Amino acid sequence: MPVSDTDRNDPLPPDPRDSWAALDQAQRDAAYNNNAAVADSATWIEKRNHDSAAYRAAHPDNLDLAYSTAERTAFDLYPAVNPEAPCLVFIHGGYWQRNSRELFACIAEGPAAIGWSVAIPGYTLAPQANMRSIVAEIGQALDWLADRGPDHGIAGPLIVAGWSAGAQLAALHLAHPRVLAGLAISGIYELAPLRDTNLNQALNLSDDDIAEFSPLRRAVVHKPLVVSVGSAELPTLVHDAWDFYGLRSRHGAPGRLLSVVGKDHFSILQELQKPNGALVRAALELAHE
């Protein structure tokens, strides 16, 4: 799989946020609508859900482990044979208002093939929870995993990873004391424009939410982080990835930008599902930083 790093020579696509004030509501909504932007998104989602159901059924021993009291605040754990192996903590996406941990079990296939553990936390979705509560729940999940993971065969270093909205949550928790490094995939790192889209009907973002929970507005964490994005993703996500990598690079933070050639918002997850996928290789690099 061809992968380009920060030596990319082709120009970035135009960012619609450069003329945001001139866009109508439909155009603003489209700037973040991954399902509509990928013609075969429904096929990819169906495959992911099918593969995840099969993987979960084949690994039933450590599922639905509550880390807090809310309905969705539970882990699915897939421990490696070696309890001291690295553990990829994968936070699912869905713009903080869709999906669940069960639908992403298949991403454990790639890390498991290289001997890693995988932990997939759920979290309460908007509008039942606001952004502050969602961020706090992921912090609780990491605390629980650090404390109780060894009881379930997971005692190795934690690599926090996330896709889409999960990438924002992963970036926000890179500073957690038990997290060694991070892998942020296809993320949203500046929240302000979302308030002008239909996504905000559920999110109801406040000024404080935008200031506190936009990774591009926060102090840089000096732990290794790979910021990844598919080259065929929406321009808003491509620019957010490059901007976030650029911010970290200017502050001397370790890590790199990984642009996966030809991959869109949904097909990029194959690179975590395949044993030799680009994202699996990136995770391996992080464990040896």
Is 80 exceeded by the pLDDT of residue 58?
yes
Helices 131-148 and 165-172 pack at an angle, to 10 degrees, of: 60
User: Which pLDDT band holds residue 11 (cuts at 50, 70, 90)?
Assistant: confident
pLDDT at 202: 98
Tokens of 253: 């933070």
pLDDT in tens, 169-210: 999 999 999 999 999 999 999 999 999 999 999 999 999 999
Stretch 23-37: mean pLDDT, rounded?
A: 98
pLDDT at 12: 92
Residue whose structure tokens are 């395949």: 274
Stretch 268-272: mean pLDDT, rounded?
A: 98
State the SS3 of 167-186: HHHHHHCCCCCCEEEEEEEC
Return the DSSP state at 19.
Answer: G
pLDDT at 3: 41
- DSSP assignment of 258-274, as one string? EEETT--TTGGGHHHHS
Identify whether the C-beta of residue 162 lies closer than 8 Å to the C-beta of residue 205. no
Triad 78, 165, 80: Cα angle to 5°: 10
User: Which pLDDT band holds residue 121 (cuts at 50, 70, 90)?
Assistant: very high
Tokens of 116: 């890693």
User: Which pLDDT band holds residue 2 (cuts at 50, 70, 90)?
Assistant: very low
Dihedral sign for Cα atoms in the order 55, 108, 48, 94: positive
User: Which pLDDT band holds residue 264 (cuts at 50, 70, 90)?
Assistant: very high
Q: What CATH number labels 24-259+270-287? A: 3.40.50.1820
Which amino acid belongs to residue 64?
Answer: D
Which amino acid belongs to residue 20?
Answer: W
Triad 178, 183, 184: Cα angle to 5°: 120
User: Which pLDDT band holds residue 9 (cuts at 50, 70, 90)?
Assistant: low
Helix, strand or coil, per DSSP, at residue 28: helix
What are the helix and strand counts (H, E) for the chain? 11, 9
d(C-alpha 85, C-alpha 118), whole Å: 10
| pLDDT above 90 coverage of the chain, percent | 96
d(C-alpha 167, C-alpha 173), whole Å: 10
Is 50 exceeded by the pLDDT of residue 4?
no
Residue whose structure tokens are 């200017």: 250
Stretch 32-46: mean pLDDT, rounded?
A: 98
Stretch 261-271: mean pLDDT, rounded?
A: 97
129 phi and psi, to 5 degrees? -125, 145
User: Which pLDDT band holds residue 10 (cuts at 50, 70, 90)?
Assistant: low
Mean pLDDT of the chain: 96
Is 70 exceeded by the pLDDT of residue 1?
no
- DSSP assignment of 216-255, as one string? GGSPPP-S-EEEEEETTS-HHHHHHHHHHHHHHHHTT-SE
What pairing do the DSSP bridges indicate for beta strands 225-230 and 87-91? unpaired
